[in-house]
């Protein structure tokens, strides 16, 4: 029998009206802004003083070089650490786009010098030295070659990071450092090559973009930690809740008026830093699993997966913590749109945040949860989920991969047949679908949902 919604814990209050608006810019407006920023130098070169004497291929080569430079600088602005970026398209997609854009940038950087017909004073086989229209040599040649070598290094070390020694954070720092080096080398190359970048409209644009990139870096690595120092958290509890899985809860270090935790939307995540140093570069993204209506504690479900998370169980109560957030797009519709959740592993964290918030807000939208677990003998959060199913308008399908002999529910992997049987049988296009779990599971479930005629615009994913 469904229980009364009035049974919710007192510390949660209905707070829908108080939800913060961290939705971020729409995907299309971001694409448009990206194209404008990356193609602006071409427009500025065209309306400035076009170098009419140049052959068309040289113009194309310059266009490729300028577009690559703009794209390198814009990558600093369009990283997943800004809410206006990650708020709608999500940090996973931001990283995927970053990788794809990187291939294009690399292609442009490597190809463009071979297209020029005639750099001055250079007699490489692919140049026609009889028709000098571009001044290259000395600094511009050295910086161009330097940018080439750095680009090659960045691509090679990003292709299969797991094969490299050292932690993810070390790699990330080196990657960002190389990105800064690359931007400076290309800037020096562009300014000394005395082409379009020597003219005021384009050079002014480079100075603006370089300034914006520097401000972004300062914001992320200096201003944010500095602000975080003023809102420290401490570990309140750390409990083992399943196989290599932990529930971490934080509260604000100071009591009194400053006890309220960061406001967020259900399903969002934060970069979490544990330890005394707000300026430490080691932070990790984790989804909040508590209700967004909780004002005094904030919780995460964390699975041991590597050098940082493997030690999560050794963290002691009272350890200092800092949060950078909220970020992310896996948030419920403001209207009571029915939702289907397909979760595996720690993907249950953001789902819990949704369900706990619905409970607190007395939200009765129709919900289906398909929860893939390894074994039925230890299902993280099962008791709580079953209790919520009695109160919310929630149907739960546990899908067990390695069931014990007394398990009678769904079993196996999340394939098309199984999902088809667990999904709502009618009006599937009217539901919102949240797919949360390991990257491979998310990719495969998304493809299955598409085969089952779920419109891609109704699917939100996070891993």
Ligand X SMILES: Cc1cc2nc3c(=O)[nH]c(=O)nc-3n(C[C@H](O)[C@H](O)[C@H](O)COP(=O)(O)OP(=O)(O)OC[C@H]3O[C@@H](n4cnc5c(N)ncnc54)[C@H](O)[C@@H]3O)c2cc1C
Question: Residues interacting with ligand X, by CB under 6 A?
Answer: 91-92, 167-168, 269, 283-287, 300-303, 305-309, 328, 346, 349, 462
Query: Of 84 and 308, which has the nearer Cβ to ligand X?
Result: 308
211 sits in which H/E element: helix 200-218
Please state, in angstroms and rounded to a whole number, the distance separating the CA atoms of residues 30 and 24: 10
Least distance to ligand X, CB of residue 222, Å: 18
If the CB atoms of residues 40 and 288 are measured against ligand X, the closer one turns out to be 288
Nearer CB in complex with ligand X: 16/175: 175
Task: Pick the closer one to ligand X by CB: 74 or 312.
Answer: 312
**Between 182 and 348, whose beta carbon lies closer to ligand X?**
348
Q: Which residue's CB is nearer to ligand X, number 54 or number 83?
A: 83
Shortest CB 98 distance to ligand X, Å: 12
Determine the Cα–Cα distance for residues 384 and 252; give it in Å rounded to an integer.
25
Kind and range of the H or E run holding 454: none
β-sheet with 432-436: strand ranges across: 410-411, 394-400, 367-373, 339-344, 432-436, 459-462
In the complex, the smallest distance separating the C-beta of residue 285 from ligand X, rounded to whole angstroms, is 4
Q: Give me the half-sphere count of Cα atoms (radius 13 Å) on the Cβ side of residue 125.
A: 0
Q: Which residues contact 140 (CB under 8 A, 6 or more apart)?
A: 188, 189, 192, 193, 194
Own/partner pairs, 393-396, CB within 8 angstroms, 24+ separation: 393/364, 393/365, 393/366, 393/367, 394/355, 394/367, 394/368, 394/369, 395/367, 395/368, 395/369, 396/368, 396/369, 396/371
Alpha-carbon distance of 2 to 13, in angstroms, equals 20
Task: Tell me the residue length of the chain.
Answer: 463
Q: How far is CA 294 from CA 13, 299, 305, 361, 386, in A?
A: 8, 10, 28, 11, 21
**Is the separation of the CB atoms in 344 and 316 below 8 Å?**
no
CB of 281 to ligand X, least distance (A): 9
Write out the H or E segment, with its range, that includes residue 205.
helix 200-218
Q: DSSP secondary-structure letter at 16?
A: G
Tokens of 260: 């309220």
Nearer to ligand X, 286 or 322 (CB): 286
Q: Which is nearer to ligand X, 62 or 94 (CB)?
A: 94
316 is written with which tokens?
């002691």
Q: Give the nearest distance from C-beta 345 to ligand X in angstroms.
A: 8
Minimum CB separation of residue 35 from ligand X in Å reads: 26
**Closest separation in Å from C-beta 301 to ligand X:** 6
Give the helix/strand (H/E) hosting 344. Answer: strand 339-344
State in angstroms the smallest separation of the CB of 422 from ligand X: 23
Select the residue whose beta carbon is closest to ligand X and give its number.
Answer: 306
Closest distance between ligand X and the C-beta of residue 276, in Å? 18
Instruction: Check: CB of residue 350 under 8 Å from CB of residue 332.
Output: no
Nearer to ligand X, 293 or 463 (CB): 463
CB of residue 173 to ligand X, shortest distance in Å = 11
Residue 82 CB, nearest approach to ligand X (Å)? 14
Residue 435: CB atoms within 10 A of its CB come to 26
Residue (305 or 432) nearer to ligand X, CB: 305
CA distances from 72 to 40, 207, 304 (A): 14, 14, 34
Distance separating the N- and C-terminal Cα atoms of the chain: 34
Helices (H) and strands (E) in the chain, counts: 12, 14
Nearer to ligand X, 304 or 362 (CB): 304
């Amino acid at each position: 029998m469904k229980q009364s919604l009035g049974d919710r814990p007192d510390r949660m209050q209905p707070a829908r009206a108080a939800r913060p608006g961290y939705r971020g810019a729409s995907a299309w407006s971001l694409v448009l802004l990206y194209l404008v920023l990356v193609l602006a130098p071409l427009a500025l070169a065209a309306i400035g003083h076009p170098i009419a004497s140049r052959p068309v291929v040289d113009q194309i080569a310059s266009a490729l070089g300028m577009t690559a430079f703009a794209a390198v600088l814009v990558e600093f602005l369009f990283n997943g650490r800004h809410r206006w970026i990650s708020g709608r398209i999500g940090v996973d997609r931001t990283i995927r786009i970053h990788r794809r854009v990187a291939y294009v940038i690399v292609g442009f950087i490597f190809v463009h010098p071979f297209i020029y017909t005639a750099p001055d004073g250079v007699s490489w086989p692919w140049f026609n030295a009889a028709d000098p229209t571009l001044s290259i040599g000395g600094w511009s040649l050295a910086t161009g070659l330097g940018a080439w070598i750095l680009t090659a290094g960045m691509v090679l070390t990003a292709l299969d990071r797991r094969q490299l020694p050292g932690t993810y954070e070390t790699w990330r720092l080196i990657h960002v450092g190389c990105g800064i080096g690359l931007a400076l080398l290309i800037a020096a190359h562009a300014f000394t090559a005395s082409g379009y970048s020597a003219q005021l409209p384009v050079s002014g644009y480079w100075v603006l973009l370089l300034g914006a990139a520097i401000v972004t870096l300062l914001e992320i690595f200096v201003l944010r930690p500095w602000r975080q120092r003023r809102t420290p958290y401490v570990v309140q509890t750390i409990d083992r809740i399943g196989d290599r899985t932990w529930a971490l809860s934080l509260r604000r270090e100071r009591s009194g008026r400053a006890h309220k935790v960061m406001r967020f939307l259900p399903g969002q995540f934060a970069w979490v830093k544990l330890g005394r140093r707000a300026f430490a570069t080691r932070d990790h993204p984790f989804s909040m699993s508590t209700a967004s209506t909780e004002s005094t504690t904030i919780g995460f479900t964390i699975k041991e997966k590597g050098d940082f998370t493997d030690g999560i169980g050794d963290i002691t109560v009272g350890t200092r913590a800092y949060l950078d957030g909220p970020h992310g797009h896996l948030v419920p519709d403001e209207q009571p749109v029915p939702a289907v959740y397909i979760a595996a592993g720690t993907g249950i964290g953001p789902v819990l945040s949704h369900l706990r918030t619905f409970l607190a807000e007395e939200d009765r939208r129709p919900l289906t949860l398909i929860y893939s677990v390894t074994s039925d003998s230890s299902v993280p959060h099962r008791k709580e989920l079953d209790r919520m199913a009695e109160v919310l308008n929630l149907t739960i399908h546990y899908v067990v991969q390695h069931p014990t002999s007394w398990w009678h529910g769904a079993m196996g992997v999340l394939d098309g047949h199984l999902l088809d049987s667990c999904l709502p049988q009618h009006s599937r296009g009217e539901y919102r679908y949240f797919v949360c779990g390991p990257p491979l599971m998310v990719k495969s479930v998304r493809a299955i949902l598409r085969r089952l005629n779920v419109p891609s615009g109704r699917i939100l994913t996070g891993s």
